[in-house]
Structure 1
Amino acid sequence: AEVKDMMAYFKLAVNLNDDESFKRVVNKPARGIGDTSMNALIVAARDNQMSLFQAAQLPTLESYGLKGAAIGKIRSFCTLMEKVAQDALAGDAYDVAMSLAQESGLYLFYKADNSIEGQSRLANVEELLNSIKANVEDVQGSYVNEQVEDGKVSDPSLVPVSELPRVTLGDYLENVSLLSNADVSDDETNNKVALMTVHTAKGLEYPYVFVAGMEENLFPSGGWMITPQDLEEERRLFYVAITRAKKAVSLSFADTRMRNGKHESNGPSRFLRELAPQYLDKPLMKEDIPGPASSFGGFSSGFSSGFSSGFSRRGGSASPSARSTSSESAGVSWRSFSASGREGNRFTGAERMADAPVNRSPFPASRSAAPERPPVIDPDFVPEPMTSFKVGDRIEHNRFGAGQILEISGNVPDLKAKVRFEQYGEKLLLLKFAKIRHK
């Protein structure tokens, strides 16, 4: 929805008389323009046979039931869009889009939302802006290449910036179409790739699933500054992503990625090293890591031998039959569960190492970076009341084992406890749901 909202802003900037785009974004983010006011404006536009933007300037709006405050807010929005529309006529598409995202308040609205969903929406908006910048660079790059091929210049750097073609927001929109399910007829739905967020994929299943963007600061989104509870939520989302696949699932991460108009190199996601080695396909290699192994994302001492025995960004997608079918250019992948939920054929670390290319060395092993063992749930565990615990208590959790309470915050029934577990580090627990007892 956030991408469609931003696209509606772009369309309205190019065509102020686009009523559908006007209705979609006039109150996004909230400007205090309710349905009653919009319905009155729609009636005014219909009666005068004009667009909503034009109707907003009518001196007789109060006769349609619009209040003075609502009229002021609608006209303030129109003033903003009129200014952006002027800029969009000849301005650079990326500059105009970035300015519109900021001045509309939509970008800051998503940036202020620190929830996982809010940060995901912000990332989607940023990716849309990045696509506009990439489109501008592609058009201008093609022009430079043509100048070189035609012999007009001997070196691309000799093409003056003033001669580069101007890509407007209208030019960008002409080259982009946003398809939704409503745009596709029933007879076209059988043979296609479905693109969606992990949240959207909940409850759905597909034979093959590809999860892109498995990088630090992207998935998980907060990098190493993320709070324990947010990290757990993103880890659950990762579980949702990989369990959408009936036959095989593949992961991929980029060496470099453009975000906010800049190139970043963040390294593979920490979630990758948490995967059980027996389900991995090929090893992660040194060349998959940007720069020295100690310089990114907190993987200061490398990956464990268990992890390196079954993971490769260049490896093929794996299926329960243990047969790789993808080419050398496929993304990172690991062995998946079968459709019935039972594990597919297993391979030991040594067997998987035998499948790896002999001319590439796995990343060196390290005990300190070994992946967490999956918690074992005790079905007979009997927890104690939340009010029986205090700071300093040694406790036992039904999944995470032994630990010590570092702090307790909140009030009954929403008490929270920060616990340092011996095997799983610090975690923040909501005590009314956590199953713990004194050790």
Structure 2
Amino acid sequence: MANSILGAGIIGQPFAFRNSGLLGGIVVMVLLTVLIDWTLRLIVVNATLSNTRSYQDTVSYCYGRWGRLLLLLSISSFAYGGCMAFCVIIGDTIPHVLKAFIPHSITASGSVLGWLFKRNSIIVIFTTCISYPLSLNRDISNLAKASGFALVGMLIIVVLTVTRAPFIDPALKGLLTAPQWTVNYNIFQGILVISFALVCHHNTMFIYNSMKNASMDKFNRLTHIACGVSMVCCMAMGINGLLNFGDKTKGNILNNFKSDDNWINLARFCFGLNMMTTFPLEIFVIRDVLKDIVLSGDGQGGSTAHLELSSKQHFFLTTFLVFSSMSVSLFTCNLGIILELIGATSASLMAYIVPPMCYLKLVWEQSDYSKLDGAGKRRFIVRKALPSVACVIFGFMVMFISSYMSIRTSMKGESDGHCVED
């Protein structure tokens, strides 16, 4: 479960703290972790109340075909945005690792093979030769070892970044303004990046159903531990990055280090390899969701487990998803804006809006509110209705306010300068 939470978003945490401010970032991280913990557990509660076995089936039970379609689109856009972010990361990491260990006479721009080591060339070559063939697999179990590697790689990246940052060239360090020490006006954009890092709601029921002797008590403990570990890792990365790089902190914290920093190149190698093997997992998610949308024939969006894409559909859909998401990374180094926009839309829907809406509908119907006495109605409103409504309102605020701020920042050009230092 920790591996589901800790992903590409972790290297964006210093950027989130830069937008939120140090004090604001710490408060937001703690509060969002508590909120994510609650909504993760709500998904299992909702499934129990509705007697369903998946997140999308629960939403279908509560809001019919259109509710299911909205959730499936959110899941697919979350995964698709993740693919874009992964390609950006490959371009930000692998070229510098190769240049560190291959003679300059080969990698230099003026050499015959120099073009092979350009950022965009690396993205195209590695995505086409590694991620794309892996994505064509039909059986996700063929990628099972990637998950274990991913978690180990993430821990290596956190340790190397946190221990190396204090010893960098002072010229790379920035200053902290008063708002960045306390609470910054871009705090909603910080909420988005933190949300992207912590959201794993589309995997929740799979994790619950895979537990031996699954129960709510066991799942609650699991969720508390996984969210706590993830919060500590994200907060360590965020605080350390902001304190060392200040107002120069970039959307990908690894880009704040020089390209010839060999310790960070090891972290870049781990992260780039991690993204190349994680990319196909996201393609599996999108492809499965699109199969669910296209091939489901009943009005409630029933299960499509027995339906499969034809070989031709599988090939062309996978090819389109891989290369369309890859194309975005060829035009931007700014991982931050991608994480922000995904966090504003898909993450907000999956984590803050849909679970409490389903919960409120289910408990309203099953408690028979009209027959409760005065004390029972007050308990229902205080313990169930108000928290759910507050969470939904917060989700919509994050979605609309943050999307506006992120797009405005991007259009003004304030999001430039996120590429790696030479």
Q: Smaller-chain TM-score range?
A: under 0.3
Q: Which has the higher contact order (CA 8 A, sep 6+)?
A: 2
Structure with the higher strand share, 1 or 2: 1
TM-score by length of 2: 0.28
The structure number with the bigger radius of gyration is 1
Structure whose residues are more often helix by fraction: 2
TM-score (norm 1): 0.27
